[in-house]
Amino acid sequence: MSDSIDILVVAAHPDDAELALGGGIAAWVKAGLRVTVACCSVSEGSPELAARRRQAAQDAAVILGYELLWVVPGDERQVENIPEYHLVGLFDKLVREVRPDLVISHWDGDSHGDHRRVAYAIAASARTWPDVALLQFGPNEHRAPSYGQFTSTVFVPMSEYIDRKTTALAAYSYEGQGYRPLDTAGVALRNRALGTQCGVEACEGLRLVRVVAGTRGARGLARLLTDL
């Protein structure tokens, strides 16, 4: 690919991007694309565990090859404690600085409240970047009712990267973690099941929200769909 494509993934918490798109991110980086993952919250209850979660995110970034950013560096608040108008302004600033061709973030129908807040704020921010394509990834919690309601319209083959995705997710398994252990085997099974819908061994799914013809977002999405 002669022209670079820049992808920005905005996640409410560390591990959201890896769960939804770990294989796709690894494939995009291998193809020479620049991938930035911006996390909004550390989502741990103590400074010690927050530091471990930040380190886990950095370890996952090295494994998958993306650049890690914190939307609010040093801020230990949960997303639900950040006013939505403030999130919108932070995303406005983030997109101006990163200058992506594509932005990928949470689905606004997710069962997790913080995920929906990020999705709404990203949609509001999109008013300032009409030349950027916007896509969403679905719920990471397959036990929630909303999981079955998300329909993928863009499929990202990642058969070669299942093991790397699993390794990246393993970085989040540390002593004292403040959430349920990740079901990495189940994640891999769901990726393989989605792959059967489009004739590949495994894939991840996205939903296209908006792309404007003739913009760099449209050109970037076309190259992504054609060359990867």
pLDDT digits (tens, 9 = 90+) for 160-180: 999 999 999 999 988 777 677
**186 vs 205: CA distance, rounded Å:** 16
Q: Give pLDDT, residue 38.
A: 98
Domain count, the chain: 1
- At 173, which CATH number? 3.40.50.10320
Tell me the mean pLDDT in the region 2-26: 92
Count CB-CB contacts under 10 A for residue 228. 16
Q: Which range is least confidently modeled, 22-36, 67-81, 82-96?
A: 67-81
Mean pLDDT of the chain: 92
Using the predicted structure, report yes or no on whether residue 3 has a pLDDT greater than 80: no
Tell me the mean pLDDT in the region 29-50: 89
% of the chain at pLDDT higher than 70: 96
Predicted TM-score (pTM) of this structure: 0.95
Q: Is residue 1 part of a domain?
A: no
Q: Give pLDDT, residue 2.
A: 44
Please say whether the dihedral angle defined by the alpha carbons of residues 177, 68, 102 and 225, taken in this order, is positive or negative: negative
112 is in which domain, residue-wise? 6-227
